[in-house]
Amino acid sequence: MSAPADSLDRIAAIADELKLANLQPQIAACRNQLHAGNHGIDVAVFGRFKAGKSSFLNHLVGRDVLPIGVVPLTAVITRLRFGLGEQARVLFLDSAAKEIPLAEIHLYVGENENPDNRKKVAAVEVELPELKPFAPLRFVDTPGLGSAFAHNTEAALNWLPNVGAALVAVSSDAPLSERDLALLDELRRHTPKIVLLLTKADLLTEAQRAEVLAFVREQCRRKWQTELPVFFYSNWPPLEKFKTELNEQLLAPLLHHRNETAGQILRHKLASLTGRTLDYTRVALAAATQAESARAALREKLAEERQQFDLFREELQVLSRQWSAQALDQSLLKLKPQQEALQEQIATELQTQFSQWPSRLPPLLQTWRDWLQTLLARELTGISHSEKAMFLEPLQRAEQHLRRTLQALQHRLAGHVQTALGVTLRPHDIALEVPEPSMPPIDIGYMDAAFSLISPLIPMSVFRPAIRRSLLRKSRWETGKNMSRLASDWRDRVAKGINELTRQAEQQALDELTALEQTAAQTQSNVPRLRQMITDLENCAFADTMPEVNEVLLQISSLLKDERGDAVWERVLRGVLKHFHSETGTIHRLDAEKQLLHLVAQVGLPPPMLEVVKTIPVGKGIAGQVVAQNKPVTLCNLQTDTSGVAKPGAKQTGVGGALCVPLRDSDAIVGTIGIGTIRPYEYTPDETRLLEEIGRTISTHLSKITPAALS
Ligand SMILES: Nc1nc2c(ncn2[C@@H]2O[C@H](COP(=O)(O)OP(=O)(O)OP(=O)(O)O)[C@@H](O)[C@H]2O)c(=O)[nH]1
Ligand SMILES: [Mg+2]
């Protein structure tokens, strides 16, 4: 059994034995995290018809599993993943499922055999032994642009934030048309993890590929002021190198990063759980070894708390109702500008559309209804997505408040323990699971357009302007009505979430109290067993991992995972400096060929120093020494250093203590990270180890920057 799984089992057994029900949510969270590393990561392939999506996936798998062709082919989503045996399953819209032979996939996936998805297929799932090298990545083939986004976008878009990478396939010979840009724009609203895949690279010469790459980069920069990762691809055997590149630079790091982050989260959770279990066991031991009078004093205080518990519960429920009630008013107020903008947009569009609508009243009204329904459904779906954070705000506020309330209770209980037994119960993480409501369906229902003022017998030529005005008014009203409905649907979902959070908080408070009552009931006969438990927990592999260390690693991982561009390095550096209580920092990228270090980011250096640290030859200065010696270098006072490591220029930094460590990708040094304090200070061996650990987290990302781009 692995060390984390083993430790977790031992902790769970101790929690059971001491009846510490309050530890159960944390234990469950650790178990989930333990398995999280094995969960799939979706790599979804989007793009226009015939961009080569299915061909790309077939090539990656190594055989023709998905149908391809010169006419639009893929009609439903297909998910491919590793499985020991070859298997294909069709999932239908009515939730039924059916196993099929692999060779029959085209009957369900292909537009020819399943036109307009008459077979009502939701998705096809395929397991293939060939995908073993990529496990647990899952690849998703999507229908060409148009079908994927025209109808029911919700499922596809809701799922997008969870994808590990959204590959957008664009044919190299016709790169980045307006429609490609529109698709990228749409995707960028839902996930930052977009990668451009320029397919059919064999249709271009090497020189043309360079031109296309420059063009694509320029387009992206112009449109979004940032770059997207771009990969060429071809299924032509002489261009196999593109597959290798994609593998090494995108798929492998995706897997690596996932495991690394999952591992860090697990260590953090286990360390905090171990610490908490130890605390309770120590309280139990103190109770067991102390006089009956001490135990009785604690029991009395806990009994008072229990009597107060109903009051505590009522207070939470009143607050919960208040939060839910305020949610609607607040969101309607915040949506007002959007509502007005939408009403304006509708008015403008109606002006242009109206002249093309039928002249007879009944078909005209029908056309108006259809037009408004489509438009409102599209726009409200957009608003629901873009304002999701705003709708969820009351839930976040409730969570913060409940957390503080639980902390206050924790503090009070710890005070009782301290007074009665003289043992400290440290504050611990409060694990409230915030339920994430899904987006409400956008349902623009029947519109009650009664136009009794205007009889169908009255000549339309006379009344057309009046009807247009009337439809305009009615459109505005329908917009307001549906906007309110969207807000109240969200309010209902958020209210359900708040109720659930309140229930969790009540349960945790009660479990906390019960756990302490249990520990206060320990007696002398349990002392040997409690001592044994404490030794076990202290020897647990995670007892010495400081939670705050993992915190900084996690923070850096998530910055690097979610953000792109140069600014991320400065943010990483600021995070590191905050943790080390240091004021200055630098990250350099090594150009191994030229033996030069190029500055990637700095914080806190005085302007005259910037030129000095911009490029550092290997062997010179602290960073240069780190590379030359291939090990960390630390100085306790740069101002008075006489070892020769610090260049005279470095003294101008005003830095006292300094620590710099190599950044390694596998074994090769790819750069350095240095930190410094204004005051004289000697960084400890633990701090050096932590900076090296941080270095491991950032070096794979740093190695993606080409040194040439910095010189
Ligand atoms: N030259 C060349 N042609 C390719 C390559 N990849 C795909 N094609 C051709 O491009 C056409 C479309 O390929 P598909 O894989 O069906 O494209 P798709 O994006 O899945 O298309 P839909 O499912 O209809 O959206 C086919 O005729 C393929 O033979 C490639 O690497 N090189
Ligand atoms: Mg296809």
DSSP labels, 162-177:
G-SEEEEEEETTS---
Q: Is the CB of 235 under 6 A from ligand 1?
A: yes
Q: Is the CB of 57 under 6 A from ligand 1?
A: no
Report pLDDT for 73.
65
Q: Is the pLDDT of residue 251 over 70?
A: yes
Q: Is the pLDDT of residue 530 over 80?
A: yes
Q: Whose CA is nearest to atom 10 of ligand 1?
A: 52
Reading phi first (left if > 0) and then psi (alpha if -120 to 50, else beta), residue 95 is in left
Report pLDDT for 151.
42
Token code pair at residue 383: 């608003």
Mean pLDDT in residue range 392-417: 88
Indicate the pLDDT class of residue 152, thresholds 50, 70 and 90: very low
Q: What is the per-residue pLDDT across 671-692, written as a single tens digit (0 to 9) for each?
A: 999 999 887 788 887 788 788 8
Indicate the pLDDT class of residue 453, thresholds 50, 70 and 90: very low
Ligand 1 atom closest to the Cα of residue 144 is 25
Please give the full DSSP string across 589-655, using - where no structure is assigned: EEETTTTEEEEEEEES--HHHHHHHHEEETTSHHHHHHHHHTS-EEES-GGG--SS-S-GGGGGG--
Query: What CATH number has the domain spanning 41-239?
Result: 3.40.50.300
Report pLDDT for 335.
92
Residue 281 DSSP SS3: helix
Q: Is the CB of 234 under 6 A from ligand 1?
A: yes
pTM (2 d.p.): 0.55
Q: Is the pLDDT of residue 397 over 90?
A: no
Report pLDDT for 190.
65
Q: Which of 49, 50, 173, 208 to mutate to test the pocket of ligand 1 (most atoms within 8 A of CB)?
A: 50
Q: Say if CB 447 and CB 373 are below 8 A apart.
A: yes
Q: Is the pLDDT of residue 363 over 70?
A: yes
Q: Is the CB of 70 under 6 A from ligand 1?
A: yes
Mean predicted lDDT score pLDDT of the chain: 84
Query: Given the DSSP bridges, would you call strands 194-199 and 230-232 parallel, antiparallel or unpaired?
Result: parallel
Q: Which of 53, 63, 68, 141 to mutate to test the pocket of ligand 1 (most atoms within 8 A of CB)?
A: 68
Whole-number Å distance, alpha carbon 228 to ligand 2 midpoint, is 23
Q: What is the per-residue pLDDT across 209-245, written as a single tens digit (0 to 9) for each?
A: 999 999 999 998 888 877 889 999 999 999 999 999 9
Query: What CATH number has the domain spanning 547-710?
Result: 3.30.450.40
Report pLDDT for 135.
83
Whole-number Å distance, alpha carbon 69 to ligand 2 midpoint, is 8
* Length of the chain counted residue by residue: 711
Whole-number Å distance, alpha carbon 73 to ligand 1 midpoint, is 10
Q: What is the per-residue pLDDT across 299-357, written as a single tens digit (0 to 9) for each?
A: 999 999 999 888 888 988 898 888 888 888 888 888 999 999 999 999 999 999 998 98
Report pLDDT for 275.
84
Mean pLDDT in residue range 543-550: 56
Q: Is the CB of 67 under 6 A from ligand 1?
A: no
Bridge partners (DSSP) of residue 80 are 126, 139
Report pLDDT for 401.
87
Q: Is the pLDDT of residue 150 over 80?
A: no
Ligand 1 atom closest to the Cα of residue 55 is 15
Q: Whose CA is nearest to atom 6 of ligand 1?
A: 52
Indicate the pLDDT class of residue 80, thresholds 50, 70 and 90: very high
Ligand 1 atom closest to the Cα of residue 239 is 31
Q: Which of 45, 49, 55, 183 to mutate to test the pocket of ligand 1 (most atoms within 8 A of CB)?
A: 55
Ion ligand 2: residue ranges with CB closer than 5 A? 53-54, 73-74
Residue type at 313 in one-letter notation: R
Q: Is the CB of 77 under 6 A from ligand 1?
A: no
Ligand 1 atom closest to the Cα of residue 143 is 25
Q: What is the per-residue pLDDT across 373-388, written as a single tens digit (0 to 9) for each?
A: 889 888 888 888 888 8
Q: What is the per-residue pLDDT across 609-652, written as a single tens digit (0 to 9) for each?
A: 888 899 999 998 899 999 999 899 988 766 565 555 555 555 55
Residue 95 DSSP SS3: coil
Report pLDDT for 158.
53
Indicate the pLDDT class of residue 704, thresholds 50, 70 and 90: confident
Q: Which long-range contacts (CB under 8 A, 24 or more apart) does 537-541 make?
A: 537/10, 537/11, 537/14, 537/274, 537/277, 537/278, 537/281, 538/278, 540/7, 540/10, 540/11, 540/274, 541/3, 541/4, 541/7
Report pLDDT for 221.
87
Q: Is the CB of 52 under 6 A from ligand 1?
A: yes
Q: Is the pLDDT of residue 154 over 50?
A: no
Q: Is the pLDDT of residue 541 over 60?
A: no
Q: What is the per-residue pLDDT across 17-34, written as a single tens digit (0 to 9) for each?
A: 999 988 988 888 888 878
Euclidean distance between CA atoms 72 and 59, whole angstroms = 19
